């Protein structure tokens, strides 16, 4: 089939779906109405599905053979952000918004499912459509995979709407796409006292400031300069009054890297610095590290197949390069388990005011990009069935 031609026939459907989901965004693990609508659409297409982890949906379209088994995945949850752009289909759930484009992701995967279901006679293998909840919570993919319902995929493809790239372009570079993600809670325990008499106290703010400064030595002095390493303390709270040393200071932050080994090593490196800094200034500490999300790393062979897919639907100019970015994505759990590819689908169009970053209260996407993303899903499924 001419994939782009067939997907363009479904553009009205893609836009309708995106706007419907945009109007009714739901937070992680609460995507009840979202899941209901997805399942209604799959039923209309005659694609059987399985419900997993409450709001997750895994649908299977069978071709001539059981294998290869090709997975196509999207995320379905929204963010706790109040939308301020006055769209005719703006969010009707106050304080909740599809500010990360997952409404577009659902639309693109449903549109791909619709096209493939109408051409199932061209499928040599089987396609599994994975509508995954709670990506923003970072544990959706892990829990869905743990059910076993995904099966043993030969390859898997995912994507993200990407406002740094112009509409009409897609990046499927091999190697790192997103960094690993970790979070830390640090509690510095000092000794309270009067602000005018610091020698009777152990100031947790002073010690905390030394900890913040010392942690930066990880990136500047302990790791390879060629590695991306981010150790950021983003909140620092202590005290109630201008002349009182509080007993404790509470710090939180995030940790990022593309390097899988460094990802494993960073928690102990961080705690070592906290421990010895606190000891040096007579304080103690409590340390918690959580949200241990691995880096999203594209398989080289799958990226090569995907690059060919992009060229088929968008031409040579449609395939662009974009470096990995220090965001987080739980599709990484899929890529740890199966060979696959994660695509950045351009949706930037300044003339349409579609130029704000993800997670911005004015975020919007150029709906022409929906066709490109859906076409990529379809073309990759067709191309991969000849390679696996």
Model confidence over 180-204: pLDDT tens digits?
Answer: 999 999 999 999 999 999 999 999 9
102 is in an annotated binding site: yes
Check: CB of residue 65 under 8 Å from CB of residue 120.
Answer: no
3-state secondary structure 263-322: HHHHHHHHHHHHHHHHHHCCCEEEEEEEEEECCEEECHHHHHHHHHHHHHHHCHHHECCC
Structure tokens at 118: 């109408």
Looking at per-residue pLDDT, the higher value among 104 and 327 belongs to: 104
Task: Report the pLDDT value the prediction gives residue 315, as an integer from 0 to 100.
Answer: 97
Task: Give the start-end residues of each E strand in the chain.
Answer: 49-52, 56-62, 69-75, 126-132, 155-166, 170-171, 175-178, 180-189, 193-194, 229-237, 244-245, 248-257, 284-293, 296-298, 340-348
What is the pLDDT, as a whole number, of residue 46?
97
136 is in an annotated binding site: yes
Separation between Cα atoms, residue 102 and residue 132, nearest integer Å? 10
User: How buried is residue 279: exposed, middle or buried, by Cβ count under 10 Å (0-12/13-18/19+)?
Assistant: exposed
Supply the pLDDT for residue 296: 97
Tokens of 178: 């997103």
pLDDT confidence tier of residue 148, bands split at 50, 70 and 90: very high
Q: How does pLDDT run across 58-99, given as a tens digit for each residue?
A: 999 999 999 999 999 999 999 999 999 999 999 999 999 999
pLDDT in tens, 94-146: 999 999 999 999 999 999 999 999 999 999 999 999 999 999 998 999 999 99
Give the contacts of 199 (CB within 8 A, at least 6 positions apart): none
Average pLDDT over residues 323-336: 94
Percent of all residues in the chain with a pLDDT value above 90, rounded to a whole number? 98
DSSP state of 326: S
Q: Is 160 annotated as a binding residue?
A: yes
Q: Look at strands 296-298 and 155-166 and give their pairing.
A: unpaired
| pLDDT for the residue numbered 292 | 80
| Angle, in degrees to the nearest 10, between helices 32-45 and 11-23 | 160
Per-residue pLDDT at 68: 97
Give the whole-angstrom CA distance, residue 69 versus residue 62.
9
The pLDDT score that the predictor gives to residue 291 is 80
Looking at the DSSP bridge assignments, the partners of residue 186 are 251, 287
Q: Give the containing element (helix H, strand E) for 153.
A: none
Structure tokens at 338: 């199966």
The tokens for 350 are 């300044």
pLDDT for residue 52: 98
* Mean local confidence (pLDDT), 354-364: 96
């Amino acid at each position: 089939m001419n994939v782009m031609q067939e997907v363009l026939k479904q553009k009205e459907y893609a836009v309708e779906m995106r706007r419907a989901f945009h109007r009714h965004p739901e937070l992680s693990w609460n995507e009840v109405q979202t899941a209901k609508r997805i399942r209604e659409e799959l039923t209309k297409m005659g694609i059987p599905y399985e419900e997993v982890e409450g709001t997750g949906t895994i649908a299977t379209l069978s071709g001539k053979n059981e294998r290869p088994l090709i997975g196509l995945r999207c995320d379905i949850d929204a963010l706790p952000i109040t939308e301020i752009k006055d769209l005719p289909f703006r969010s009707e759930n106050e304080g909740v918004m599809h500010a990360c484009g997952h409404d577009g992701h659902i639309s693109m995967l449903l549109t791909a499912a619709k096209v493939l279901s109408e051409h199932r006679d061209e499928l040599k293998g089987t396609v599994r459509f994975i509508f995954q909840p709670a990506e923003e919570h970072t544990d959706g993919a892990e829990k869905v995979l743990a059910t076993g319902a995904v099966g043993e995929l030969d390859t898997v493809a995912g994507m993200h709407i990407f406002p740094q790239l112009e509409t009409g372009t897609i990046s499927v570079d091999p190697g790192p796409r997103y960094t690993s993600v970790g979070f830390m809670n640090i509690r510095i325990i000092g000794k309270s006292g009067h602000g005018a008499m610091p020698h009777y106290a152990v100031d947790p703010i002073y010690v905390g400031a030394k900890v913040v400064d010392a942690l930066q030595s990880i990136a500047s002095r302990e790791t390879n300069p060629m590695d991306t390493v981010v150790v950021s303390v983003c909140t620092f709270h202590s005290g109630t009054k201008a002349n009182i040393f509080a007993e404790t200071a509470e710090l939180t932050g995030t940790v990022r890297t593309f390097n899988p080994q460094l990802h494993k090593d960073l928690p102990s490196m961080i705690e070592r610095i906290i421990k010895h800094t606190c000891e040096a200034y007579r304080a103690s500490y409590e340390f918690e590290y959580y949200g241990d999300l691995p880096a999203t790393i594209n398989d080289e062979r799958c990226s090569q197949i995907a690059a060919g897919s992009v060229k088929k639907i968008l031409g040579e100019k449609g395939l662009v390069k974009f470096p990995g970015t220090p965001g987080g994505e739980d599709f990484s759990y899929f890529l740890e388990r199966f060979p696959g590819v994660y695509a950045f689908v351009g949706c930037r169009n300044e003339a349409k005011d579609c130029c704000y970053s993800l997670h911005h209260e004015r975020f919007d996407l150029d709906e022409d990009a929906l066709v490109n993303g859906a076409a990529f899903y379809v073309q990759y499924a067709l191309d991969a069935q000849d390679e696996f």
